[in-house]
Homo-oligomer: A and B are copies of this chain.
């Protein structure tokens, strides 16, 4: 028996492309949920998405080779949903319900491919934009981010030899398992993987998901990554994102319509989804403004996902609001998903234990925590704050205010206008971690 599989070795050293995106299902589940709604209600809206690197000190275009980036983006555009994937989407149950996707939507999806992209370099950064129908461009968000983050990891690792790589991944695994052991003692923990966009790599992401499945069992309630959910028989989890209120707000032609946009989103959503999928994401234009102006029926939704304030503070605000509206928080659900690590998960869990149902969507710190793992100091392994945001809808600029002014996006004039409409209450600057 020889030690080396010659065919594999030759293949590994001569392939033209090691694909980062292997399937169109390698995306967040909320993209598919939102896509069905966009396809159903806003099929003619044009939306432009753009890459935004908030960690400006990292010059992505210096770290990543443009030709490699184009090759990966081009490869992603060759993908289609496979028959197996389509059958799974049609036949699987999501959030406890079967046939969540309409047959007509699935028929459209079967023909889907990622639209074109525009890429140029400017000042050491990539200007990467996706223009076209919202129901096409929206699907670029996750693969674009995953591609850039993995290309950055690969570039950083090129200086390491095989033994150093072995040590690096051994240490990362040991650290990941230490986290598992910290989470195990929490009896009613519900945690899911939200780490696709900022992951170190696809293979590492898969390992982390397997580690949670192996290590915390029932407490691991699923993954936002649809491909990993399918392959590992896990729940696909997620609901909706800021792009919905951002696009609807951009489309609003009056201040009144702008003020109503966040609630219009919820009404649209409710045409498609019920139960555990009725999760409010309140911070697009400031959580205080959202709660202040919310119609009473919003308090009947299943839960909230506070996404830009510190978890205890953000959660307490929602609890107070439910109580003020006469709802018992113990029947409600809070989903935490912003910059979580083990310490904040444990602290938040302990704080709200018994007061409200909780779920944790664990992202970057789950799938991209390599600090100190390299056997010698190397640059480029720390995650960066990279997002892919909608920047305009039907040519009108899109804005996000957030509860944290440092996470705001959009041009200054529009931000000022939004602040006049929604106010600035409760918005506090925090360092954007990742």
Chain A interface residues toward B at CB < 8 A: 1, 5, 7-8, 11, 161, 163-164, 166-167, 169-171, 173-175, 177, 210-211, 214-215, 375
Contact = CB atoms under 8 A, between A and B. Distances in A.
Contact of A174 (B1, B11, B164, B170): B170
Given A11-B1, A375-B215, A167 B177 contact: yes
Enumerate the 9 nearest inter-chain pairs by beta-carbon distance, A residue then B residue, closest first: A170-B173, A174-B174, A170-B170, A171-B174, A5-B5, A163-B214, A167-B177, A170-B174, A1-B11
A5 B170 CA distance: 24
Contact of A166 (B161, B164, B173): B173
Contacts of A5: 5, 8
29 contacts: A1-B7, A1-B8, A1-B11, A5-B5, A5-B8, A161-B214, A163-B210, A163-B211, A163-B214, A164-B214, A166-B173, A167-B173, A167-B174, A167-B177, A167-B211, A169-B170, A170-B170, A170-B171, A170-B173, A170-B174, A170-B177, A171-B173, A171-B174, A171-B177, A173-B174, A174-B174, A174-B175, A177-B375, A215-B375
Contacts of A174: 167, 170-171, 173-175
Nearest to A210: B163
A11 to B, nearest CB: 5
Q: Tell me how many chains of this kind the complex includes.
A: 2
Main secondary structure of the interface of A (DSSP, over half): helix
Residue among A5, A7, A170, A214 facing the most chain B CB atoms (10 A cut-off): A170
A214 B160 CA distance: 12
Given A5-B5, A167-B211, 14 more contacts: A1-B7, A1-B8, A1-B11, A161-B214, A163-B210, A164-B214, A166-B173, A167-B174, A169-B170, A170-B171, A170-B173, A171-B174, A173-B174, A177-B375
A270 to B, nearest CB: 41
A13 B329 CA distance: 55
A3 to B, nearest CB: 9
A11 B3 CA distance: 12
A339 B214 CA distance: 36
A378 to B, nearest CB: 15
Residue with the highest number of chain B CB atoms closer than 10 Å, among A174, A210, A215:
A174
A161 B211 CA distance: 12
A161 B214 CA distance: 10
Contacts of A211: 163, 167
Nearest to A161: B214
Nearest to A15: B1
Residue from A5, A163, A175 with most neighbouring chain B CB atoms (10 Å): A163
A168 B284 CA distance: 44
A174 B166 CA distance: 10
A24 to B, nearest CB: 21
Contacts of A171: 170, 173-174, 177
A173 B174 CA distance: 9
A203 to B, nearest CB: 12
A221 to B, nearest CB: 19
Contacts of A7: 1
Contacts of A169: 170
Contacts of A214: 161, 163-164
Nearest to A215: B375
Contacts of A173: 166-167, 170-171, 174
Contacts of A163: 210-211, 214
A152 B8 CA distance: 34
Contacts of A166: 173
Nearest to A178: B171
A166 B172 CA distance: 12
A228 to B, nearest CB: 15
A7 B171 CA distance: 31
Contacts of A167: 173-174, 177, 211
A169 B177 CA distance: 12
Contacts of A164: 214
